[in-house]
Structure 1
Amino acid sequence: MDPNVSSQVLREFGSEQNLLSKPDGSATFVQGDTSVCAGVYGPAEVKVSKEIYDRATLEVLIHPKVGVTSVRERAREQCVRETCEATLLSTLHPRSSLTLVLQVVHDDGSLLSCCLNAACMALLDAGLPMGHLFCGVTCAIDSEGFIIADPTAQQEKESRALMTFAIDSKERNVMMSSTKGSFSAKELQQCIAVSQKASEHIFQFYRDSVKRRYSKIL
């Protein structure tokens, strides 16, 4: 292991699907004390002004725990939308609308990655066609140059750089990245490697969760 990479394991995960009755798919995702609830609506009729003739229109909305949506939520919405658009086979539902609503229940760090994980579980629950799954991993680099995977809010506050990556389940490629702070090219590559390794645990968690759910049904 690289001396600058922290050996910290990911915080404990939790997830539950099909919680809400109104959406076509829903899920909660918990990482430590960070928790997000997601609901997927559609495919449904789309407004003519938003209609795309060869694929579905995807809208992503993130609601903070308190207060109104800010620029920060808008940036996160774009990250989640770009990731979902890259994985959804939206050409199978042309001229229709898909809406993904994410409600922040509690934020104790790594919020964007938790939003991505909740989104993937909700899309799975909705039964929408996807080319592959995806997950989000956040890494922080502290003042001494150590990389911490899945940081808490306090660790984020004390870090000099923060990065979140969306990783695909097929090739473990980076689908989306959101970065903040100062870091070197080497540190960026190290964080990507840490995130790719961490994604294996998250995809295994997805598999176990879905298996548990359907074994109950059967």
Structure 2
Amino acid sequence: MEVCGSTGVSLRSFGCEQTLLSRPDGSASFTQGDSSVLAGVYGPAEVKVSKEIYDRATLEVVVQPKVGLPSVRERSQEQCVRETCEASLLSSLHPRSSLTLILQVLHDDGSLLSCFLNAACMALMDAGLPMSCLFCGVTCAIDSEGQTIVDPTATQEKESRALMTFAIDSTDYRVMMTSTKGSFSLPELQQCISVSQKASEKIFQFYRDSVRRRYSKTL
């Protein structure tokens, strides 16, 4: 059960594997419960003149749904991920170049945007791109009774009256990006931010453990 109480924050199980793909400069798969995303990073590479920014790299994020063509929902998710990545990447170190992040949905069982963010961060790390901080995504749902559910499933999302996803940074645990849907009060928003900051500690610990396991195998 993912309901959070005063005793702590409960999350679904995580899974991650880096350097899965040979063609991208960095890649990672990330699973949260039954939600699964594959991320690939290309660059720094040559950029089209029309998209060139003279003092930093141009970042493009593409979300590919499991089936069919991208819709308005995917465009919104791309913007949320791009804004978060731009806030953490030291893109001024790669001016007049291009970075591309491809996110492929493998399975969606809720909290998909936070899964995108977590997969993106692990893929950027795998690509060795310079970052001012790591980041993670945490999704909270508020059900009809006013209870906060962390890392909700697709069913719990449908039954909720509000859904919020936060991108949290690894240094000060501040909120870098917020995506909200539904109706909620200011105290409920503050409660969800507080819970997400606590949950982010577990996710950053998972990042550390995952990277440690990977490099302990290669040494």
Q: For this structure pair, what is the TM-score category when the shorter chain's length is used for normalisation?
A: over 0.9
CA deviations on 1:145-193 (whole Å, 9 max, x unpaired) are 0000000000000000000000000000000000000000000000000
Letter in 2 for 1:112: L
Alignment partner, residue 169 of structure 2: 168
CA deviations on 1:116-159 (whole Å, 9 max, x unpaired) are 00000000000000000000000000000000000000000000
SS at 2:145 equivalent? coil
Residues 9, 198 of structure 2: 8 Å contact kept: no
Task: Give how far 1:5 is off.
Answer: 6.7
Alignment partner, residue 186 of structure 1: 187
Residues 141, 162 of structure 1: 8 Å contact kept: yes
Give aligned-pair identity as a percent: 79
Summarize the alignment of residues 1-218 of structure 1 with structure 2, pairs less than 5 Å apart.
Answer: 9-218=10-219
Q: TM-score, normalised by structure 2?
A: 0.97
Gaps of 5+ in 1: none
Q: C-alpha separation between the residues in 2 aligned to 1:175 and 1:46?
A: 27
Q: C-alpha separation between the residues in 2 aligned to 1:59 and 1:145?
A: 37
Q: C-alpha separation between the residues in 2 aligned to 1:210 and 1:40?
A: 17
Task: Give how far 1:8 is off.
Answer: 6.2
Q: C-alpha separation between the residues in 1 aligned to 2:184 and 2:162?
A: 6
Q: 1:192 to 1:113 in 2, by over 3 A?
A: same
Q: C-alpha separation between the residues in 1 aligned to 2:172 and 2:41?
A: 26
Residues 9, 195 of structure 2: 8 Å contact kept: no
SS at 1:112 equivalent? helix
Letter in 2 for 1:194: V
Q: C-alpha separation between the residues in 2 aligned to 1:94 and 1:182?
A: 41
Q: 1:6 to 1:146 in 2, by over 3 A?
A: farther
Q: C-alpha separation between the residues in 2 aligned to 1:77 and 1:132?
A: 20
Residues 4, 146 of structure 1: 8 Å contact kept: no
SS at 1:84 equivalent? helix
Q: C-alpha separation between the residues in 2 aligned to 1:189 and 1:65?
A: 33
Residues 51, 57 of structure 1: 8 Å contact kept: yes
Letter in 2 for 1:128: L
Equivalences, count: 216
Task: Give how far 1:4 is off.
Answer: 7.6
Q: C-alpha separation between the residues in 2 aligned to 1:29 and 1:7?
A: 23
Where do 4+ consecutive residues of structure 1 move more than 3 Å? Answer: 3-8
Residues 31, 115 of structure 2: 8 Å contact kept: yes
Task: Give how far 1:12 is off.
Answer: 0.1
Residues 116, 136 of structure 1: 8 Å contact kept: yes
Residues 165, 174 of structure 1: 8 Å contact kept: yes
SS at 1:195 equivalent? helix
RMSD of aligned residue pairs (Cα, Å): 1.3
Task: Give how far 1:9 is off.
Answer: 1.1
CA deviations on 1:67-98 (whole Å, 9 max, x unpaired) are 10000000000000000000000000000000
